[in-house]
Amino acid sequence: MYDECVRAVTGAARMGCLALAAGLPFLASCSVNGVGAVAAHVQRGGGATVVDTYSGGAMLRTETDDAGFGLGVRRRTEIFAPGAGVAPAPGWYFLHVPAPADKVLAFDERMLGLDVTASAPQLGVTLGLRALTVFAAPGGDDALDFRLRYDSEYRIRTTLVQYQGGPACSLP
Amino acid sequence: MLTPLIRIIAASTVIATTGCAAPSHLMHYQRTVVGFDASVATQQTSGQIVFGYDRRMVAVVPKTIAEGGKKNAMSIISCTDAEAGFTTVRFEERLATGDAAKKYAAALKAKPQASSFNCINQ
């Protein structure tokens, strides 16, 4: 009986050590709301600002439109329409994400690992690979009129055309 | 062995029945999962548990929205052309909501043969 207990404890300890060794690289890096182990690439597409954010390790997010906790690697591309906020200069940024103050018009996200999501469009837990693309998510009271083209392989070619005033301005 | 699964199902059911009511925001998205996933849609009263592979293309349009303290039907006109691969996605979204959508509708009513709302690839 004693030997069985010792074997069970040492077996569990061995598994714990293996799990810890496998998870150490992830535990060593972390980010909170885009600050920490992140790299961001800001690009200006046609009429839109495109921000790619690459993060790895443990990730804690508390923004309204991006909330949750993850452990793994993640790429999130956010498309912003030009607005009142000051858009960051194009280029690479490290250790922080210079997101514009404007509202995200659309986003495209890839996550590999464990992720607990607490923001729209779906709340829940994912273990594995998740790809999420939100084509448009305006608020119920937003008045919008736009055309957006996006290709995840050529994000610099993102184009956004905003129409002002409805049909009179888009009639041929 | 089944206990954790039952807990997840119970949690999902609770979230689905308490956290979600009639949708209040337009939401249009695609979601692909490979592995394990337990989730509920914020704009719908539905949840899912997946082991393996799942892909969804979802469009949620609220029936009513709050406008100036009153509830009105949401005005929207939209066309979407989306092509999603395993790791890539490309799309074109043409969307008008609110006053702009109402103007397009009025223009269409006045001149049904003339298309004032240029859709995809036109």
Tell me, yes or no, whether A63 lies in a domain.
yes
B53 touches chain A (CB under 8 A): no
B79 → chain A, closest CA residue: A147
Domain boundaries, position A131: 30-169
- What pLDDT, on a 0 to 100 scale, did the predictor assign at position A113? 96
Query: B67 and chain A: CB distance < 8 Å anywhere?
Result: yes
- Residue B26 touches partner A, C-beta closer than 8 Å: yes
Instruction: Compute the distance between CA of residue A71 and CA of residue A120 in angstroms, rounded to an integer.
Output: 19
pLDDT of residue A24: 57
- Provide the pLDDT for residue B9: 40
Do the chains contact at A128 and B90, CB–CB below 8 Å? no
CA A119, distance to chain mean position in Å, is 12
CB contact under 8 A, B97 and A117: no
Percentages helix, strand, coil for chain A, rounded to the nearest 5? 20, 55, 25
ipTM exceeding the 0.90 mark: no
pLDDT at B6: 42
In a domain, A94, yes or no: yes
Residues of chain B with pLDDT under 50: 1-21, 122
Q: Report yes or no on A111 lying in a domain.
A: yes
* Cβ-defined contact of B25 to A139 (cutoff 8 Å): yes
Out of A121, A128, A141, name the one closest to residue B27 (CB): A121
Biggest CA-to-CA distance, chain A: 86
Specify the 3-state DSSP secondary structure of B2.
coil
* pLDDT number for residue A57: 94
CB pairs under 8 A between A and B: 185
- Asked whether residue A164 is domain-assigned, the answer is yes
DSSP helix/strand/coil, B115: coil
> For residue A10, is it within any domain?
no
- Contact residues on chain B for A167, CB-CB shorter than 8 A: 103-104, 106-107, 116-117
Q: Number of structural domains, chain A?
A: 1
- Nearest residue on chain B to A108, alpha-carbon basis: B89
Cβ of B27 within 8 Å of Cβ of A128? The answer is no
**What is the per-residue pLDDT across B102-121, written as a single tens digit (0 to 9) for each?**
888 888 788 776 666 777 65
Q: What is the pLDDT along chain A (172 residues), one digit of tens a residue?
A: 566 665 665 666 666 656 655 555 555 689 999 899 999 999 988 888 999 999 999 999 998 888 999 999 999 999 988 876 778 899 999 999 987 777 788 999 999 999 999 988 889 999 999 999 998 877 655 678 889 999 999 999 999 998 875 555 444 3
